[in-house]
């Protein structure tokens, strides 16, 4: 059986995520799979049998601890993905400015014109 409160919380989180995507505030391909995985993990972890099975699979005696560790791993992965994407964006920005500088300096005459 699933916990109703957890299901409502997950549902609200999905709605929030969809609104963020609709408002074009997030690049869906970037973080969406990770967030989706977090929601699924949140929903299934309200089931005691899943927690026990998951803990057994990881070899951890305390069930909830296994879920927390899995969640921390997902958060860590999403941080790394974001870090890579921010670095890419920054490098692209610098590359564009360098390209503009090359073009502008080659085309412009010496001052004073």
Q: Summarize as ranges the residues that interact with other proteins (CB under 8 A).
A: 91, 94, 97-98, 101-102, 104-106, 108, 110-112
**Of residues 1 and 109, the one with the C-beta less far from other proteins:** 109
Closest distance between other proteins and the C-beta of residue 20, in Å? Answer: 26
For residue 13, the number of C-alpha atoms closer than 13 Å in the C-beta half-sphere is 16
**Of residues 18 and 94, the one with the C-beta less far from other proteins:** 94
**Of residues 56 and 98, the one with the C-beta less far from other proteins:** 98
User: Could you give the CA distance from residue 48 to residue 28 in angstroms, rounded to a whole number?
Assistant: 31
CA 23 from chain centre, in angstroms, equals 17
Closest distance between other proteins and the C-beta of residue 32, in Å? Answer: 30
**DSSP code for 24:** T
- Under 8 Å between Cβ of 2 and 41: no
């Amino acid at each position: 059986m699933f916990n109703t409160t957890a299901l409502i919380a997950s549902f609200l989180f999905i709605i929030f995520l969809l609104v963020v995507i609709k408002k074009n505030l997030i690049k869906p391909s970037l973080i969406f799979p990770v967030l989706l995985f977090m929601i699924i993990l949140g929903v299934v972890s309200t089931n005691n049998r899943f927690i026990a099975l998951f803990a057994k699979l990881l070899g951890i005696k305390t069930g909830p601890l296994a879920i927390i560790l899995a969640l921390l791993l997902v958060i860590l992965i999403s941080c790394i993905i974001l870090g890579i994407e921010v670095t890419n964006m920054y490098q692209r920005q610098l590359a564009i400015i360098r390209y503009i500088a090359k073009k502008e300096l080659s085309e412009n005459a010496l001052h004073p014109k």
